[in-house]
Amino acid sequence: MSAPSSSDTRTTNDRYPTRVSAEPALIERLEPTVWGSEASAGMYGAQELHGHATNGFSRVPDLLTPDEVAGYAAELDRLAHDPLVRADDRCIVEKASAEVRSIFEVHRISEMIAHLVRDERVVGRARQILGGDVYVHQSRINYKPGFGGGGFSWHSDFETWHAEDGMPTPRAVSCSISLTENYAYNGCLMIMPGSHRTFVSCVGETPEDNYRSSLTEQEIGTPDQDSLTALADRHGIAMLTGKAGSATFFDSNCMHGSADNITPYPRSNIFIVFNSVDNACGEPYYAPRARPEYIAARDFTPVR
């Protein structure tokens, strides 16, 4: 791919350039994190929304009941063993073990997960944070099996969604619902609290069909070590441990990652990305072409 030309207004006026310069940069984010008015009614109270705006994430300890956890865990198991799912492009396997790593667009594969997306406990909170109607930009199951589930290097999701999916601004939020206990040692999510206010412009052009390798091991769109050190020194690192059934909502620009899982204990979760209908994706900003719809939706119908 050649670098976008300077006549391309989409990129010349862009506040969040990435994968185009030889030098990394830290760019202050201007958009709010919580768009709903703090008075907007819903499951989050004003204090929780305030915490979300400050840290870039918020936690819901018992989003699912133990019975629901058991039901969804059985559904994850069923999907991972369904030969039709296994053969589908939506299914990503681990490089090392050929075990299922992720399944994408699960809200269109599983009726149970479609239902979960529309659940007020889930979409209601996303609407409160993003200030109105939302649609699903991406959904996936991450399995992270024991004895070899692979980690995710440090990254901001928004960096990828902006560069490769054409998401204009960081007005999206991810909901990660744990179906297994998350310990510090089985590859739990790590977030730098407060890092969502800084965009790290990354070095290295997006190759053709980058998604074919980035979903097992992301290399492009991962920040340089000096930028990561600066952010970690400034913000520290939070380990998001918690019980099965707990959920974390986190801003699209949080700096986050997770380690490999060498323990016997899997760390599985359902992951749903909500984007504001006022922030619908267009052409990619810094990639040769848009990714498939099962990774980055083009149907902006609000969740009802």
Q: Which residues bind ligand 6CS (CB under 6 A)?
A: 138, 152, 155, 157, 160, 214-215, 218
DSSP letters of 136-152? Answer: EEEEEEE---TTTB--E
DSSP annotation of 2: P
For residue 100, the minimal CB distance to ligand 6CS (Å) is 15
Are 302 and 133 a contacting pair, CB within 8 Å?
Answer: yes
Are 287 and 206 a contacting pair, CB within 8 Å?
Answer: yes
For residue 293, the minimal CB distance to ligand 6CS (Å) is 13
Of residues 105 and 157, the one with the C-beta less far from Fe ion: 157
Q: Which of ligand 6CS, Fe ion, none is residue 263 near (CB under 5 to 8 Å by kind)?
A: none
DSSP letters of 271-302? Answer: EEEEEEGGG---S-SSSSSPPPTTTS----PP
Q: Which of Fe ion, ligand 6CS, none is residue 75 near (CB under 5 to 8 Å by kind)?
A: none
Of residues 36 and 286, the one with the C-beta less far from Fe ion: 286
Q: Which of ligand 6CS, Fe ion, none is residue 199 near (CB under 5 to 8 Å by kind)?
A: none
Of residues 102 and 186, the one with the C-beta less far from Fe ion: 102
Of residues 253 and 279, the one with the C-beta less far from Fe ion: 253
Record the tokens describing residue 113, joined without a space: 């997960």
For residue 199, the minimal CB distance to ligand 6CS (Å) is 14
For residue 205, the minimal CB distance to ligand 6CS (Å) is 16
Q: Which of Fe ion, ligand 6CS, none is residue 48 near (CB under 5 to 8 Å by kind)?
A: none
Distance CA 157, CA 173 (A): 10
The pairing of strands 189-191 and 238-239 is antiparallel
Edge to edge, what strands does the sheet with 134-142 contain?
57-60, 247-251, 172-178, 269-276, 134-142, 100-104, 91-93
Beta strand ranges found along 165-268 (DSSP E):
172-178, 189-191, 198-201, 238-239, 247-251, 256-258
Of residues 128 and 258, the one with the C-beta less far from ligand 6CS: 258
Q: Which of Fe ion, ligand 6CS, none is residue 72 near (CB under 5 to 8 Å by kind)?
A: none
Q: Which of Fe ion, ligand 6CS, none is residue 160 near (CB under 5 to 8 Å by kind)?
A: ligand 6CS
Distance CA 50, CA 48 (A): 5
Could you list the residues that contact Fe ion (CB under 5 A)?
A: 157
For residue 174, the minimal CB distance to ligand 6CS (Å) is 8
Of residues 69 and 272, the one with the C-beta less far from ligand 6CS: 272
For residue 152, the minimal CB distance to ligand 6CS (Å) is 5
